[in-house]
Amino acid sequence: MIFAEILAIGSEMLTPFRLDTNSLYLTRTLEERGVAVIAKMIVGDVQDRIIEALDLASRRSNVIICSGGLGPTIDDITKEAAASFLGLPLELRPDVLVTIEERFRRRGLRMPEGNRRQAMIPAGGTVLPNPNGSAPGVYLESKGRQFFLLPGPPFELEAMWEQYGLPLVGKDRPLQRLVLRVAMLPESKVDEMLGPVTGRLRATGYTILASPGEIEIHFLAPEDSAQELASAAEETRKLLGHHVYAEGAQTLEEVVGRMLRESGKKIAVAESCTGGLLGSRITDVPGSSTYFERGVVAYSNRAKVELLSVPEETIRRSGAVSEPVARAMAEGIRRLARVDVGIAITGIAGPDGGTAEKPVGTVFVGLAVEGNETVVERFSFPGGRNRIKFFSSQAALNMLRLRMLKGD
């Protein structure tokens, strides 16, 4: 087994505002080669901290990847720290200097003196060209360990790594990851439904990752046991049935979009508490203009009457957040937009506006499909305003998906 670890270097990475997202990208590429990331570390631009991290990492891992600290300023000391740790001098590499100077000249600029530092490379190091920036990367081998020094900006790191870094990393038994996605089911319910086979699934690297309104079920196994992976996924699909909405990286709006496109149906939405979020998610999908006709955000009662023909009497009698209003909104938008499907959301996103009978989180979703009876579901969502908005849009998309699965 090849072990790797990832070291993010940069004082801004220790503020309350920045996370080391490069490590997610690096982990994914390593996983595909069968290399396991066993630790990640994040330190500032401080020589002792960098050396301590390199020391710990190289005692247990074969591949050590550093990101950040290759810039032209005196704060950037990753190469100095790595050279010092490995007992190597830094050398000016004329070929690298020429490349950097050339980069500036092409933009009609003189290279600032500080950028000379970027041409200093630990002795014996291989230069990794930077297709998207001036900082070259460095590859070093020492005592059977592979060290990679990569730039911090993701745009630069990813291009350099893919082209020049990753191919140098040894291959083990490559791993394959298979992901099933489930919408609007709590984690405990998924656990319960999969209970009978959980033991068997664990052998295929089964993990559940839960986020609000969405569960991912991951399987991870060596590529040569693809058969076991497929049958574990098959078994899971059988137990969870229509709750599984996709395999792989698709979003719920992409899945719903594909179903709409394939069926040739057009849709329009009427939103209240979600304020446009449902429309925004539907139109996040490229090509959505072929099936999304319009949306209406009827935030005020007047807008519900004027834009959706919801009878004033219905609002007065049942309240704007109610089954009859959700029904009238869904039917209204479908009729007025002259489309096949109308979806409506009305609810209380809070923090104010809740009552004993309809507390914050109460949401009605209406679904009007041509030639079918309109359906309204009532939900009670936990959490704050933004979470309730997201849950509501998720519930609406999932209702539509389930309805279309039935062939309506």
Smallest distance from a second copy to CB 213, Å:
16
CB atoms under 10 Å from CB of 235, counted, come to: 16
Nearest alpha-carbon partner for 142 in 69, 87, 89, 92: 87
Does residue number 245 form part of the binding site for a second copy (CB under 8 A)?
no
Smallest distance from a second copy to CB 86, Å:
19
**Which residue do the tokens 């100077």 mark?**
101
Kindly state the DSSP code that residue 111 receives in the 8-state scheme: P
Does residue number 178 form part of the binding site for a second copy (CB under 8 A)?
no
Q: How far apart are CA 165 and CA 35, in angstroms?
A: 14
Burial of 60 from C-beta contacts in 10 A (0-12 / 13-18 / 19+) = exposed
Nearer to a second copy, 118 or 288 (CB): 288
Does residue number 198 form part of the binding site for a second copy (CB under 8 A)?
no
Q: Binders of a second copy among 8-47, rule CB under 8 A?
A: 12-21, 23-25, 27-28, 31, 37-44, 46
How many residues of this chain interact with a second copy, rule: CB under 8 A? 73
Kindly state the DSSP code that residue 328 receives in the 8-state scheme: H
Q: Which of 72, 154, 222, 275 binds a second copy (CB under 8 A)?
A: 275
Q: Which stretch binds a second copy (CB under 8 A): 106-114, 224-232, 238-246, 288-296?
A: 288-296
Does residue number 189 form part of the binding site for a second copy (CB under 8 A)?
no
Q: Which of 71, 152, 165, 295 binds a second copy (CB under 8 A)?
A: 295
Does residue number 309 form part of the binding site for a second copy (CB under 8 A)?
no
The conformational region for residue 187 under phi > 0 = left, psi -120 to 50 = alpha, else beta, is alpha
Q: Binders of a second copy among 61-120, rule CB under 8 A?
A: none
Does residue number 188 form part of the binding site for a second copy (CB under 8 A)?
no
Q: How far apart are CA 202 and CA 184, in angstroms?
A: 24
Q: Which stretch binds a second copy (CB under 8 A): 64-72, 117-125, 276-284, 368-376?
A: 276-284
Q: Binders of a second copy among 334-393, rule CB under 8 A?
A: 336-337, 349-352, 385-386, 389
Does residue number 221 form part of the binding site for a second copy (CB under 8 A)?
no
Does residue number 2 form part of the binding site for a second copy (CB under 8 A)?
no
Q: Which of 58, 274, 346, 362 binds a second copy (CB under 8 A)?
A: 274
**Which residue do the tokens 């049942």 mark?**
318
Q: How far apart are CA 137 and CA 157, in angstroms?
A: 9
Does residue number 130 form part of the binding site for a second copy (CB under 8 A)?
no
* Cβ-contact 370, 334 below 8 angstroms: yes
DSSP, collapsed to helix, strand or coil, labels residue 342 as strand
190's tokens: 């998924």
Nearest alpha-carbon partner for 57 in 30, 37, 77, 27: 37
Does residue number 292 form part of the binding site for a second copy (CB under 8 A)?
yes
Q: Which stretch binds a second copy (CB under 8 A): 53-61, 79-87, 137-145, 367-375?
A: 53-61
Does residue number 199 form part of the binding site for a second copy (CB under 8 A)?
no
Q: Which of 149, 201, 278, 344 binds a second copy (CB under 8 A)?
A: 278
Burial of 86 from C-beta contacts in 10 A (0-12 / 13-18 / 19+) = buried
Does residue number 236 form part of the binding site for a second copy (CB under 8 A)?
no
Tell me the H-state helices in 107-211. Answer: 154-160, 187-194, 198-202
Smallest distance from a second copy to CB 301, Å:
10
